[in-house]
Structure 1
Amino acid sequence: MRSCLPRYYWPGFVEMTIDEDMTCNNHEEADTKIVHHVCKLDTYAKKNVLLKTSDTDVLIIMLGNMDHLQSDELNIFMEYGTGNSKRYINVTKLHMELGPSLCTSLPGFHALTGCDYNPSFFQKGKIRPYKILIKNKYYQKALADLGVAHITGWRDEILPILEEFVCEIYGYKNISNINAARFQKLCVTYKAGTEDEPFKKTLKNCDPSTLPPGKAELQQHLLRTQYITSIWRNAYLRFPSSLTPNRNGWTLNEDALDYSLVRRRLYVATSIRRCCS
């Protein structure tokens, strides 16, 4: 068991102590450990705290946990980048400008739209989804609540809202079912000449990867999103999450975790010919 060893610098010597309250062995990544330590700072800290990192995940996680600082007098800064690209971000000021609702949704948003542990939606990036998010408190609350859904038991109520969000990311604001959005996208590309035309038309400039994910695929993506968010959103806790990766978007195969894949037979319904004509 590794302990946290705070260092205090005094004129002429350095004092090092063991602080069990700052120890967080249940945090696997340094990203959440950094944020956990900041949230524990009280009498140990001066008014200004500087985080040195080249990982934007730390900024997202820090913004999502700003409401859990033990001292309102702390000013959090981040030194980001190296060399000529180095810059300083006033995290406290940024949190005030964005507001608590948006900030608490950012860990879930980052996990949903693509991070080191979860793939992104093809060619969707983060700019368009973020523009949608900042205008919609409904989505903000759902993403924030996702981080504690393993405690509240609200997951089944939250996931349909996130499905609706993904539909809007793909440009379907009035569709809340991802399979319906996927079908609509197909109909835009595939135009049957007659009702009886076989579904064998050669498509040009059609990239299947631009289609929205299917319902089952999105379900696994959202389960991974919940698992990641439960850790990031609760970085201020010594035990951030009770969830495990297995059966939450991943499958444990011996000693390795693999993405849970959706394997099923595909059928072409006659309704495709009718609806696309």
Structure 2
Amino acid sequence: MLRTVDTGVLDLAVSTAVCLADTAIWVAFGTGKHLRHIPAHDIAKELGYEKARALPMFHAFTGCDTVLSFAGRGKKTAFDIWKSFDEVTPVFSSLMTDPSTFNDDCMSVLEAYVVLLYDRTCTETTVDSARKNIFTTKDRSMDNIPPTKAALLQHTKRAIYQGGYVWGQALVRCPVSPSPNTHGWQKSGGQGWQPFWTLLPEAVASCSELLKCGCKKGCPRQCKCVRAAHKCTSLCRDTSDMMYAIGHDYEQECFLCHHIHRVWLCQWVMVAFPAEESFSSYRQE
């Protein structure tokens, strides 16, 4: 009998149940009137060996105590996508049992899974292309589109460390784990281990043209543009101090797909498209 209020412990109990044949594992979950006795072994049988074994890895990848979750995507949504996208099950399972098997093929499947997390109808299979597609066609905010591949890679490494090297060795007497600095963590001064988010520069530094403020007349010190040491662009409400003249076009590396794009700034809208495409057809009169 296990007693816990942590869903991670419950997931680990279900995963362990498939390794301990003919062993009943009961979990007393919750407190007070919400206390329930859950048969982890029955859940394992219902899920099947591979999915039950992969459950802790799924839990780590979609968010746990040491790995952040995907913004706005809870466990129910993530599990529903998992049920409809069986291709990710062997990846979760292999990373749970042997984290060293992680490779580009695993990453491709995980990318496709994350794309479905953000848009079940999206036909893209990579997060960078889906990020661009969803941002430009679905009118989503930056917080509601998939992460870049660079950020997802570091997230995946942290999930592998927790799900594979920590939880995956729960039955090992003397587990051996690599240094966290090879799995999405870094030492930060006297604060101990901190997440290493991405190799890419921040969007505000690499694509400042998307920064905008809502100042009606002039920009005070707390203005976004002032804090970032940038002049206002045509996206801002007050364009009296614009960095670029209205109607000016220039080339810029896109923060969505990291390709060089030509950008046209007009008074009301900024349209970005590949430099090799016809510029005149996109021009706003």
Under a length normalisation based on structure 2, what TM-score does the superposition of the two structures give? 0.67
Root-mean-square deviation over aligned CA pairs = 2.2
Distance 1:94 1:148, change over 3 A: closer
Contact kept, 8 Å, 2:14 with 2:44, in 1: the verdict is yes
Contact kept, 8 Å, 1:101 with 1:137, in 2: the verdict is no
Alignment-derived partner of residue 163 in structure 1: 111
Name the CA distance, whole Å, in 2 between partners of 1:55 and 1:158.
28
Name the CA distance, whole Å, in 2 between partners of 1:136 and 1:170.
14
2:174 aligned residue (239, 243, 247): 239
1:122 aligned residue (71, 78, 89): 71
Contact kept, 8 Å, 1:65 with 1:234, in 2: the verdict is no
Alpha-carbon displacement from aligned partner over 1:12-60 (angstroms, at most 9, x marks no partner): xxxxxxxxxxxxxxxxxxxxxxxxxxxxxxxxxxxxxx11112111111
The letter of the residue matching 1:142 is V
2:158 aligned residue (210, 215, 224): 224
Name the CA distance, whole Å, in 2 between partners of 1:82 and 1:213.
36
User: How many Å apart are 1:94 and its aligned residue?
Assistant: 1.2
Contact kept, 8 Å, 1:65 with 1:233, in 2: the verdict is no
Name the CA distance, whole Å, in 1 between partners of 2:186 and 2:137.
35
Alignment-derived partner of residue 127 in structure 2: 178
Name the CA distance, whole Å, in 2 between partners of 1:234 and 1:157.
24
SS of 1:246's partner is: helix
The letter of the residue matching 1:164 is A
Distance 1:274 1:156, change over 3 A: closer
Contact kept, 8 Å, 2:18 with 2:41, in 1: the verdict is no
SS of 1:222's partner is: helix
User: How many Å apart are 1:105 and its aligned residue?
Assistant: 1.7
**1:128-143 correspondence to structure 2 within 5 Å:** 128-143=77-92
Name the CA distance, whole Å, in 1 between partners of 2:183 and 2:110.
16
Name the CA distance, whole Å, in 2 between partners of 1:154 and 1:120.
20
Name the CA distance, whole Å, in 2 between partners of 1:229 and 1:173.
28
Alpha-carbon displacement from aligned partner over 1:201-237 (angstroms, at most 9, x marks no partner): xxxxx53111210111111101111111112122111
Distance 1:211 1:136, change over 3 A: closer
Runs of at least 5 residues in structure 1 that lack an aligned partner in the other structure: 1-49, 191-205
Under a length normalisation based on structure 1, what TM-score does the superposition of the two structures give? 0.69
**More contact order relative to length (CA 8 Å, sep ≥ 6):** 1
Name the CA distance, whole Å, in 1 between partners of 2:122 and 2:48.
25
User: How many Å apart are 1:254 and its aligned residue?
Assistant: 4.7
Alignment-derived partner of residue 270 in structure 1: 262
Aligned pair count reads 210
Distance 1:239 1:163, change over 3 A: farther
Report percent identity of matched pairs.
27
Query: Is 2:94 the counterpart of 1:145?
Result: yes
SS of 2:181's partner is: coil
User: How many Å apart are 1:173 and its aligned residue?
Assistant: 4.7
User: How many Å apart are 1:164 and its aligned residue?
Assistant: 1.1
Alignment-derived partner of residue 54 in structure 2: 105
